[in-house]
Amino acid sequence: MEDRQEQISQVVVTAGQMRDIEKRIFAAGMPVVALMEKVAGLIARRILEISPTLLQNTFSIPANTRFLRVSPQAGGSRIGILVGPGHNGGDALVVARELHFRGYEVWIYSPFSQLKELTSQHLQYAQSLGIPIYQTVGQLPDSDLLIDGLFGFGLERNLTDPIASAINQLNELSVPIYSIDLPSGLHTDTGVVLGTAIRATRTFCLGLWKLAFFQDQALEYLGKAELIDFDIPLADVEAVLKDVPRIKRITATKALATLPLPRPAVTHKYKEGHLLLICGSRRYAGGSILTGLGARASGVGMLSIAVPESLKSILVSHLPEALIVGCPETETGANAHLQLPENTDLSSFNAIACGPGLTRDATPIVQEAIAVDRPLILDADGLNILAQMGAIATLKKRQAVTILTPHTGEFQRLFPDIANAKYDRVKAVQAAAGQSGAVVLLKGARTAIANPQGGVWIVPESTPALARGGSGDVLTGLLGGLLAQAATKQIPVEDIVATAAWWHSQAGIIAAQERTELGVDAFTLTQYLLKVLT
């Protein structure tokens, strides 16, 4: 049974769901003012923990930008608090008060004339403490840190002047900005910039993760994100989410628990899964090698790789433990059709992964794989061929599990009627899985995986180092190996897919830390997969 902290760390909510959860908390008797004090106290404590490190950092300041001086006050920092009209502004004001009492020199920027009652009371008290309050950006003194409490979750309208211009001016200052709950100006669900938005250095997400944190377009505004857990009762979360498909973050704890480890004391290679990879061509020989190396790292018991006959010797040299199946070739060097060993057919395998390096000349072999009643992963040219066949109509005829692993371009070819893949990845992947009956993995800075029932896993961190040719081939092999091993286990397929994607991204992160983001080619990535588990 997962503990509360682990369960909370997986939950992702929309703005509407968060409102409903808070309503239940308040209806149960939690005073709004008490919750605000608790949340702001946690934020202030976190800022105090971070500040010493912050002040030791050296920031590179462009010559044409304004430099904000370090103040010689007792606390060592001058901190500006940006206050909005709602309870997000109230949180910021309590933070201002707490930092003021701890010796920091604090000032407040409050540009709104109409405030919620509780926020107005906190502003009045801050003024009584002698904390300076400013209404325009031009009046603001220098500072070493800004705390953004202008708008919290739930903002839906575009920001306009004068607040839009004020945010743009604040972004131009050479000073870190910590946002409370969400950088002001971002849509909570889609992560779309509503006219303009704060570019945060760090964001304190309050209570539960919001969907915007996992939309690609929001990432450049979020900075380093962390969850401030203020003890939302799990019963309230469950009550609100019980009848809707869950959106969850895949965590290390969940991923490691899904891996086929430890193995039984008594087992053998066929009990640990038999995977068939169908990949490669004379033009793209490397795709078959990288896919095979990804599968090797999964620990799959038996690995067969079907490639054009002319690639057989090079595959044997890289993967001597695999059974390399040489297939007849087309004139262009693609797989013409399968030529499996005697007494073997496609139903002999626990899982099949098909696509990397094939070229579209291998259409008949992809059609053959789709027709068989075996768990199937389609990637790269496997997806392009599926798109030509008509993805939804073709997949609806399949009885076995199908997993699709497109990037955005492939996704749009597969599902041309789903228009929001770039702007609301979660809704797009849910729609694709629902229409096709497949488990769909949409690659990106925050990879999203949906099952046909609408449940979603999101990989919460990755690295730009994976933006290299061949990285996806490695994922296909890794995923295929895990799927084959799970054939006899009662594990939801989407959990296996999310675990593979998490493992893949973690290998990229570790490799980038050791070799820089420029030093992680796909072959190097395969060498870091097992480091994730050590």
Residue-wise pLDDT for 314-330, tens only, equals 999 999 999 999 999 99
Sign, Cα dihedral of 91, 93, 99, 101: negative
Q: What pLDDT does residue 76 have?
A: 53
462 is in an annotated binding site: no
φ, ψ of residue 73 to 5 degrees: the values are -85, 170
Q: What pLDDT does residue 442 have?
A: 97
Residue-wise pLDDT for 57-79, tens only, equals 333 333 333 333 333 343 457 99
Yes or no: say if 353 and 308 are a contact pair by the CB < 8 Å rule: no
Q: Which two tokens stand for residue 82?
A: 């940006």
Q: How far is it, in rounded angstroms, from Cα 392 to Cα 411?
A: 12
Beta bridge partners of 471: none
148 is in an annotated binding site: yes
φ, ψ of residue 192 to 5 degrees: the values are -70, 140
444 is in an annotated binding site: yes
Q: What pLDDT does residue 59 have?
A: 34
Grouping H, G, I as helix, E, B as strand and the rest as coil, residue 444 is coil
89 is in an annotated binding site: yes
Residue-wise pLDDT for 6-56, tens only, equals 999 999 999 999 999 999 999 999 999 999 999 999 999 999 898 764 444
φ, ψ of residue 288 to 5 degrees: the values are -70, -35
447 is in an annotated binding site: yes
Q: What pLDDT does residue 2 have?
A: 72
152 is in an annotated binding site: yes
pLDDT confidence of 121, banded at 50, 70, 90? very high
Report domain 4-244's class: alpha beta
pLDDT confidence of 490, banded at 50, 70, 90? confident
9 is in an annotated binding site: no
Judge whether residue 398 has pLDDT over 50.
yes
Yes or no: say if 501 and 447 are a contact pair by the CB < 8 Å rule: yes
Q: How far is it, in rounded angstroms, from Cα 401 to Cα 307?
A: 23
464: region left, alpha or beta (phi > 0 left; psi from -120 to 50 alpha): alpha
Domain map (residue ranges) of the chain: 4-244, 252-533
Q: What pLDDT does residue 202 have?
A: 97
Judge whether residue 434 has pLDDT over 50.
yes
Q: Cβ-count burial of 34 within 10 angstroms (0-12 exposed, 13-18 middle, 19+ buried)?
A: exposed
Residue-wise pLDDT for 194-213, tens only, equals 999 999 999 999 999 999 99
407 is in an annotated binding site: yes
Q: Which alpha helices (H) appear in 173-320, and where do they start and end?
A: 219-222, 234-241, 252-258, 285-297, 312-318
Q: How far is it, in rounded angstroms, from Cα 290 to Cα 383?
A: 18
157 is in an annotated binding site: yes
197 is in an annotated binding site: no
pLDDT confidence of 388, banded at 50, 70, 90? very high
Residue-wise pLDDT for 126-152, tens only, equals 999 999 999 999 999 999 999 999 998
445 is in an annotated binding site: yes
Distant-in-sequence, close-in-space partners of 499: CB < 8 Å, separation ≥ 6: 250, 254, 255, 258, 259, 482
473 is in an annotated binding site: yes
158 is in an annotated binding site: yes
CATH number of 252-533: 3.40.1190.20
Yes or no: say if 12 and 458 are a contact pair by the CB < 8 Å rule: yes
